[in-house]
A = this chain, B = another copy of it.
Amino acid sequence: MERLRRVVLERLMRYYRLLAEMTAKEPMATITSAQIAEALDIDPTQVRKDLGAVGLQGMGRVGFDVCEVCRAIRIMLGFDQKYESVLIGAGHLGGALLAYSGFSAGFARYGLHVVAVFDNDRSKIGGKIAELTVKPMKEMKPLIKRRSIRLAILTIPAQVSQELTDRLVTAGVKAIWNFSPTQLTVPPDVLVRNEHISVGLSEIAYHLKQ
């Protein structure tokens, strides 16, 4: 099967979130592509095309079975699997992510489990964030190898992140969720997902300027 492009994956995630949110408010059996499209401000043809890409076809005017849509997206995106991960950087942002991931409605429902937190700041090592004890960096590589961890979440300052990335890749990590404000270089089989919070400001500042 053809690999789905990032924009398609992101839209599937938005459909999934929307349905989870809507059904939490009010039970519903079916939804039309037009309803999804309107709620998310996306073209209805695009919605049908994306759902088609995960093997779903609407039932005429009735639309799509909500459970079936959720199930198909979960399987396609891989949320039915479990991913252990490590978080590196026990600062504010690391704490925010862990607090979020600790919610029942948090990251666990996407398969993500943070099993350890590392930092090189002595004043943080030994302390707790969420329910995890902050560990020294020297324990990072052995733990990643021992538990065959493939995902690392980076919430550290820019200046140390490339060196750290190299160490993570050597240890066997295959995906990096990067909240550090820097571009990382990795081998072709490793995915870096950059979350640049400030990208959102481009749209906001432009809107306020008008």
- B198 in contact with A193 (CB, 8 Å): no
Task: Return the contact of A202 from the options B10, B40, B183, B207 (Cβ within 8 A).
Answer: B10
- Docked Cα-Cα span, A99 to B92, in Å, equals 7
A93-115 vs B, Cβ < 8 Å mask (1 yes, 0 no): 10111111000010100111000
Chain A facing B: main interface SS: helix
**With a CB–CB cut-off of 8 A, which chain B residues contact A174?**
207-208
**With a CB–CB cut-off of 8 A, which chain B residues contact A110?**
198, 201, 205
Minimum CB–CB distance for A172 against chain B, Å: 12
Answer yes or no: A160 CB below 8 A from chain B CBs: no
Answer yes or no: A191 CB below 8 A from chain B CBs: yes
- B191 in contact with A203 (CB, 8 Å): yes
- B81 in contact with A209 (CB, 8 Å): yes
A78-B208, A99-B91 known; A112-B175 Cβ under 8 A:
no
Q: How many copies does the complex hold?
A: 2
- B81 in contact with A205 (CB, 8 Å): yes
Minimum CB–CB distance for A107 against chain B, Å: 7
- B206 in contact with A195 (CB, 8 Å): no
**With a CB–CB cut-off of 8 A, which chain B residues contact A205?**
77-79, 81, 83, 110-112
- A204 in contact with B208 (CB, 8 Å): no
**With a CB–CB cut-off of 8 A, which chain B residues contact A111?**
205
Which A residues have a C-beta under 8 Å from some C-beta of B?
3-4, 6, 9-10, 12-14, 17-18, 21, 39-40, 76-79, 81, 83, 91-93, 95-100, 105, 107, 110-112, 150-151, 158, 174-175, 177, 181-183, 191, 193, 195-210
For the complex of A and B, the 7 pairs showing the least CB-CB separation, nearest first, are: A78-B209, A13-B202, A92-B96, A78-B205, A93-B96, A191-B207, A9-B202
Task: Name 17 A/B residue pairs within 8 A (Cβ), A-sorted.
Answer: A3-B210, A6-B203, A17-B198, A77-B205, A77-B206, A81-B209, A83-B204, A83-B205, A91-B99, A92-B98, A93-B96, A93-B100, A96-B96, A97-B197, A110-B198, A151-B204, A193-B203
